[in-house]
Structure 1
Amino acid sequence: MRVIIAGGHGKIARILERMLAQRGDSVAGIIRNPAHTAALEEVGAEPVVLDLERASVDDVAAQLDGADAVVFAAGAGPGSGAARKDTVDRAAAVLLADAAEAARVRRYVMISAMGADAEAPDEVGDPVFVAYLRAKGAADDDVRARAGLDATIVRPGLLTDDAGTGTVTIADETGRGPIPRADVAAVLLAVLDTPATAGRTFEVISGETPVRDAVQRIADGGR
């Protein structure tokens, strides 16, 4: 399998890249900063330097040639303002979807956010956080609506850098809770291996169910 990851230098992305590379898959990470090239090479990923805030659909589609799946793991990150929540968390995800359709790559996996909602009310939090939830929600809505994509949207709880446990809780709504980034990466890997998760949007937090079993359960229509 060949997988292209947008936001390839992110913490979850690099864990996923290492997992894919270690089992013999081909993986490339799209990065904006050339200084991050070595970090991707270290985990076995091919670095692709491309700024998703400036690239065209054709620019991105050219990098997807031969891919079996794309993963959107990019984000404006802490400290960025509301404007970049829109240009990265929404617009870059939409750009990747446009490019995937142009390159005829149907499989699209999105790292979203718990509470993502294009109509998130102002009282949810500070203006930048509200802009983030709205951007993620709008991106999710756009991707879900595309007949040309087989999309799965993963909404993790509070991310931590704790060691992965290999066990999670997955449901349409899990309630709030933490989850190690390593376990989110394991869920993404299982989702890529489980085509029947296409069309599903689910939340994931730490729990007691082995990752593969939890993903298969949601693919089978379980809650």
Structure 2
Amino acid sequence: MRIVIAGGHGQIALRLERLLAARGDEAAGLIRKPEQADDLREAGAEPVVCDLESATLDEVAAHLRGADAAVFAAGAGPGSGASRKDTVDRAAAVLFADAAVRAGVRRHLVVSAMRADPGHQGEEIFDVYLRAKGEADAYVQAQPDLDWTILRPGLLTDDAGTGQVTLAASTGRGPIPRDDVAAVLAELLATPATAGLTLELITGADSVSGAVRSAAETGGEG
């Protein structure tokens, strides 16, 4: 299975790339800076230099062509202003979805954010971020040619993963190690029956595989 990951040098993406390489999948990560390439190679992934803020639709689609799945894990990151929340968290996600459609890559995962909502009110930077993520999610959800799953983690931490999670349409707020977010993404990629679901994720009592299987069976309502 070949998976192309937008935001390939991100903290979650690098963890996901290691997991995919370990199970024999082929991962390619889109990166903005050539100097990030060695980190991806170390993680077992193919580095692909492609800046989603300046690339054309055809350029991104060319990188996706032949893939079995796409994962949008890019983000403007802490310290970025409102303009980059729009160009990365919204526009780049839209571009990546359009490129997946053009390239014929149906399976499409998005790392979003809890409380993302296109109607979110407020003008603080975090409000702009939640609105941008919500607009991107809504765009992806409206694409009939994508088998999408949107994952909305809680408060991200760098604690070691426990492999114990709660994954549902609504979980309430809580923390989640990035290790466990990556593990859930890897399991979602292997579980096509989760297509069409928007799922929240926090630390909990279920195994990763059990939580994903339950979400697939119940539509996240279990």
Kindly state the Cα deviation for residue 143 of structure 1 after the two structures are TM-superposed: 0.1
- Separation of aligned partners in 1, 2:188 and 2:154: 17
Partner of 2:42: 42
- Separation of aligned partners in 1, 2:142 and 2:216: 19
Match for 1:17: what amino acid?
A: E
How many residue pairs get matched? 220
Partner of 2:191: 194
Kindly state the Cα deviation for residue 66 of structure 1 after the two structures are TM-superposed: 1.1
- Separation of aligned partners in 2, 1:65 and 1:74: 19
1:109-124 alignment to 2 at 5 Å?
109-122=109-122
Partner of 2:22: 22
Kindly state the Cα deviation for residue 158 of structure 1 after the two structures are TM-superposed: 0.3
What SS does the corresponding residue of 2:55 show, helix, strand or coil?
A: coil
Match for 1:149: what amino acid?
A: L
Which deviations, in whole Å up to 9, do the C-alpha atoms of 1:150-200 show, x marking residues without a partner? 000000000000111011001111111000000000000110000010000
Kindly state the Cα deviation for residue 112 of structure 1 after the two structures are TM-superposed: 0.2
Partner of 2:208: 211
- Separation of aligned partners in 2, 1:3 and 1:43: 14
Kindly state the Cα deviation for residue 139 of structure 1 after the two structures are TM-superposed: 0.3
Kindly state the Cα deviation for residue 219 of structure 1 after the two structures are TM-superposed: 0.7
- Separation of aligned partners in 1, 2:91 and 2:59: 15
1:161 paired with 2:158, answer yes
What SS does the corresponding residue of 2:173 show, helix, strand or coil?
A: coil
- Separation of aligned partners in 1, 2:65 and 2:171: 36
Partner of 2:145: 148
1:105 paired with 2:102, answer no
- Separation of aligned partners in 2, 1:121 and 1:64: 35
Kindly state the Cα deviation for residue 75 of structure 1 after the two structures are TM-superposed: 0.2
Partner of 1:5: 5
- Separation of aligned partners in 2, 1:33 and 1:89: 18
Q: Name stretches of at least 5 consecutive residues in structure 1 with no aligned partner.
A: none
1:63-74 alignment to 2 at 5 Å?
63-74=63-74
Which deviations, in whole Å up to 9, do the C-alpha atoms of 1:30-54 show, x marking residues without a partner? 0001110000000100000010000
1:179 paired with 2:176, answer yes
Match for 1:20: what amino acid?
A: L
What SS does the corresponding residue of 1:220 show, helix, strand or coil?
A: helix
Kindly state the Cα deviation for residue 12 of structure 1 after the two structures are TM-superposed: 0.5
1:59 paired with 2:44, answer no
Q: TM-score, normalised by structure 2?
A: 0.98
RMSD: 0.7
- Separation of aligned partners in 2, 1:77 and 1:179: 17
Which deviations, in whole Å up to 9, do the C-alpha atoms of 1:99-131 show, x marking residues without a partner? 000000000000000000011011xxx611111
Kindly state the Cα deviation for residue 79 of structure 1 after the two structures are TM-superposed: 0.6
Match for 2:124: what amino acid?
A: P
Among candidates 127, 138, 141, match of residue 124 of structure 2: 127
- Separation of aligned partners in 2, 1:163 and 1:157: 15
Q: Sequence identity, in percent?
A: 64
Kindly state the Cα deviation for residue 136 of structure 1 after the two structures are TM-superposed: 0.2
Q: Name stretches of at least 5 consecutive residues in structure 2 with no aligned partner.
A: none
Which consecutive aligned stretches of 4+ in structure 1 deviate over 4 angstroms post-superposition?
A: none
Match for 1:13: what amino acid?
A: A
